[in-house]
Amino acid sequence: MLLFNPHDDHRNHADARSRQIVEKAIAFFEKKGLKKIKEDDQAMVWYEDFLEFVKEEEIFADLLTPQAYAGENGRWDMWRISHFNEVLAFYGLCYWYTWQVSILGLGPIWMGENEAVKRRAAKLLRDGGIFAFGLSEQEHGADLYSSEMTLVPQANGTFLARGRKYYIGNGNCAALVSTFGKIEGSGEYVFFVVESDHPAYECVRKIDTSGVRQAYVAEYALHDYPIREEDILLRGEAAWNAALNTINIGKYELGCASIGIVTHCLYEAINHAGNRQLYGMTVTDFPHVKQLFVEVYARLHAMKLFAMRAADYLRVASIEDRRYLLFNPIVKMKVTGEGERCVGLLHEVIAARGFEQQTWFEMAIRDIGMLPKLEGTTHVNMALILKFIQKYFFTPVDFPEVPRQDQAGDDGYLFRQQTGKLKEVHFPDWRKAFAAVDLPNVRIFVEQAELLRQLLLDAPPNREQQADSGYMLVAGELFTLIPYAQLILENSAIYQLDDELLDVIFALLVRDFAGYALQMVTEHSNSEVQEALFRQMLKRPVRDEAGFNKVWRQVLELKDCYRMSD
């Protein structure tokens, strides 16, 4: 089974320690139980018990320390990191959040050349420390150009740090906070580390948010915080690049968190609906309920297939192969968006039950919408995705086949990523993945994709359309579906997904493609050629009743296969 089930985890682990970490995490949360997790959530209790568990078991230390600075079991391995993201979010986004923010806070440290801070960070991780990423500011968000955090040079060669950072997770107790700013006078960008318990560090307040109640999202201020040369991680262009490259790594994790949330919601929803009688029928006997469950089941598999395949490309990344720079923002934007959609569909099934305080679903309704909004909005990530269209569609380059990357290993390239020149990132022919599959809805989807490619050749967006962010957002959604579908197909072969489920996935992708094409026709101005091509994209998926029913039986088999302990 591709979906995570704590009672029967099928994920392939490269070594015993990796499996042990997941098993210990499952045991911790199952022992804590749903009732206590919900009580802590509603009371906004700081998750000290979880952090103590992480410290005792040295979990963050093994998962988040590159091999050169780690003990026997430590490495930065995106295969096991991605799975741990899913596991934490499956039990509660607050637990995932402190882990996610630590990943961001460690990024500039591992990317820098300050060996003393790297060794210090490794020891702090081993001692149970968590980390923070001081990038955004209240007035400027993540606009790096406008950062007002300043290092003021002193006559003795040191600096005084002055300024504030806003919306900073773990800002109350991070062992180290990687802080972005500028050097006064030169305007040079800089990353440096500060300690949250230093007298010159003020945790101004906890920022109230409607989600992740237990997390501490802080505003902090540095009041002439003394900074020595040995506290500086990066300067100039290297500091700028580290900010962007850290987010390149961190944004991937949000998609994995969405997968964990939706998976738990699916179990809770099928348990509820499959054991509830209405009007003399089991709720799961209603045709519209079957349709909703099958759609969520298919979309969730698509999310997971894509995200896991994107991890493969992260792991093989190099200066010559930077395809992950397209796939990562799709994980961030598309997978998290699909997660929000899936929770909404499941809520249609369980209705008022989803608002009841004792359900896990109640937390998910609140938290799932956060993930598409963190680490860059849809518009920001779409602007990035659009830079890859030309090379993706029109100048294919051969690459070696990439098998599943589940081996133990340190993904060191991620800490020396090459930045810029996104329009020079190459891809193999996108059609290869589709040519290997002969299913009705895959064929229809390829027709739609070819029509989009034809439009870009014969009638690309004009200058006015390109300046219209609404127009380009929908155009980008159309394009995004193609690499999304490509990686789903690649991974469906690796995991030997059955044809019936794959065809249902592609029926949904055909429908989504037609929906965006219709939006282009009804909401935007197009040339005659553009409109004709968009109208040709309005294709109907093939409905295979036998295939649908087989997938439905797979969904129904999930009933009572997982129920969280009380």
> What are the chain's domains?
16-129 (1.10.540), 132-235 (2.40.110.10), 428-565 (1.20.140)
Q: Look up residue 408 and give its amino acid.
A: A
pLDDT of residue 331: 94
For range 414-440, the mean pLDDT: 91
Neighbouring-strand partners of residue 234: 191
pLDDT of residue 10: 82
pLDDT confidence of 210, banded at 50, 70, 90?
Answer: low
Computed from CA positions of residues 67, 73, 74, 80, in that sequence, does the dihedral angle turn out positive or negative? positive
pLDDT of residue 256: 95
- The whole-angstrom distance between residue 285's C-alpha and the CA centroid of its chain comes to 34
Question: Where is 33: in which H helix or E strand?
Answer: helix 16-42
pLDDT of residue 419: 78
Candidate from 321-325, 376-380, 546-550 with smallest mean pLDDT: 376-380
The answer, yes or no, to whether residue 51 has pLDDT greater than 80, is: yes
Taking alpha carbons only, the member of 370, 297, 300, 294 closest to residue 335 is 300
What percent of the chain is predicted at pLDDT more than 70?
Answer: 99
- For strands 150-153 and 176-183, give the pairing: parallel
- For strands 176-183 and 189-194, give the pairing: antiparallel
pLDDT of residue 465: 93
For range 368-383, the mean pLDDT: 76
The answer, yes or no, to whether residue 379 has pLDDT greater than 70, is: no
pLDDT confidence of 557, banded at 50, 70, 90?
Answer: very high
pLDDT confidence of 376, banded at 50, 70, 90?
Answer: low
CA 313 → CA 93, 356, 513, distances in Å? Answer: 26, 41, 25
The answer, yes or no, to whether residue 481 has pLDDT greater than 80, is: yes
pLDDT confidence of 378, banded at 50, 70, 90?
Answer: low
pLDDT of residue 421: 84
Query: Which residue is it, tokens 């929770």?
Result: 343
pLDDT of residue 146: 85
For range 215-232, the mean pLDDT: 96
CA 207 to CA 205: how far, in whole Å? 6
pLDDT confidence of 470, banded at 50, 70, 90?
Answer: very high
pTM for the model stands at: 0.96
pLDDT confidence of 140, banded at 50, 70, 90?
Answer: confident
For range 60-82, the mean pLDDT: 95
pLDDT of residue 211: 66
Computed from CA positions of residues 191, 197, 202, 204, in that sequence, does the dihedral angle turn out positive or negative? positive
267-286 residue pLDDT tens = 999 999 999 988 989 999 99
The answer, yes or no, to whether residue 1 has pLDDT greater than 80, is: no
Q: Look up residue 481 and give its amino acid.
A: L
For range 85-99, the mean pLDDT: 96
